[in-house]
Amino acid sequence: MTHNLLILEGDGIGPEIVAEAMKVVDCLQSDYGFQAEIEHGLIGGAGVDGAGDPLPEATLDQAKQADAILLGAVGGVKWDSLERPMRPEQGLLRIRAGLDLFANLRPAILYPELVDASTLKPDVVSGLDIMIVRELTGGIYFGQPRGIRELENGEKEGFNTLVYRESEVDRITRVAVDVAKKRSSTLCSVDKANVLEVSELWRNKVTEICDEVGGINLSHMYVDNAAMQLIREPKQFDVIVTGNMFGDILSDAAAMLTGSIGMLPSASLNSDNKGMYEPIHGSAPDIAGKGIANPLATILSVAMMLRYSLNEGELADKIETSVRQVLADGARTADLGGSMTTSEMGNAVITVLKSN
């Protein structure tokens, strides 16, 4: 079976890390019988520069046709002063919305070899394996009305709307429940129900779905406490389900538990398991073009793509095993305290993958 893949390099370190991930895809094709038709498209600042839009229509069309999408990263100072609709981040938000990729899975796994790369004490983080399920197409990121308006006294006021419908909470909860059932059936829903009505509704709906499905050990936690608990005793968590903005923040915090944000892949799925796969880190303008970014989050995103959208779980295992192996062999990019370049790290993974 031939898989149709769309590759969106994006901006900053995006092209560098995606190049390494594509070496992995090439290797799967040459050595493991993986068949793919590969297209490339523009998004983010590259879309603005190349086609006058952070999400050119052609890219969205390609994305709708594809079985899965691999994305590098978007954004950079060059485009920061453009009006909001032209900013690179809008391309990312629009492709998520345009494909209805409401379920964002962000695993935070500490590889044993990296226990000393974390800023937390080894006994706090060793063995860490958390899955954050972030709602991705609703909440304050998309709520209307939004804007900046001028008040009568001439003062300006910025405003956004945090809104969730029952149906949105329902579907993300069901995804989280499915994920939890494949693990320890423990789910922690994170909200701010002590202050926000939208969280009150969220909490009630999550409880209702879990009662209906049964067999889930559900707890609720306020987001401020969850942020603290993630740092204090992260291993108390297994699967976390939360809204768009809380999930954005908590997943960056969780990333640091694993030693480097350069290690974390993600999957963004719609209700048919069509997905877009991207590292959770950004375009890192400060190191872009230097060839020193860690490509492992992107390589691990390829593994998630194989597992969740392409039904190629064995190949996903091979990639993950190879990443583990190179880390065990001592391979380290700068973010992990080493000095390997982006392509040296990619090549190290390929060498192991070929011999597996």
Residues interacting with ligand IPM, by CB under 6 A? 75, 89, 92-93, 248, 280, 282
Q: How far is the CB of 325 from Mg ion (least distance, A)?
A: 29
Is 141 designated active site? yes
Pick 75 or 295: Cβ nearer ligand IPM: 75
What is the separation, in whole angstroms, between the first and last Cα of the chain?
23
Pick 124 or 227: Cβ nearer ligand IPM: 227
- Token pair for residue 280? 């959770």
In SS3 terms, 330-354 reads as CCCEHHHCCCECHHHHHHHHHHHHH
Q: How far is the CB of 247 from ligand IPM (least distance, A)?
A: 8
Q: How far is the CB of 146 from ligand IPM (least distance, A)?
A: 15
Q: What does the DSSP assignment read for 196-250?
A: -HHHHHHHHHHHHHHHHH---EEEEEEHHHHHHHHHH-GGG-SEEEE-HHHHHHH
92 binds, among Mg ion, ligand IPM, none (CB under 5 to 8 A by kind): ligand IPM
Phi, psi (5° rounding) for residue 273? 65, 15
**Distance between CA atoms of residues 223 and 216, nearest Å:** 21
107 binds, among Mg ion, ligand IPM, none (CB under 5 to 8 A by kind): none
320 binds Mg ion (CB under 5 A): no
With CA atoms as reference, report the closest residue to 111 among 334, 314, 336. 336
Is 248 designated active site? yes
Pick 27 or 280: Cβ nearer Mg ion: 280
Pick 248 or 335: Cβ nearer Mg ion: 248
Ranked by CB distance to ligand IPM, the top (closest) residue is 89
Specify whether the CB–CB gap between 176 and 241 falls below 8 A: yes
**Distance between CA atoms of residues 78 and 228, nearest Å:** 35
Is 222 designated active site? no
248 binds Mg ion (CB under 5 A): yes
| Interface contacts to Mg ion, rule CB under 5 A | 248
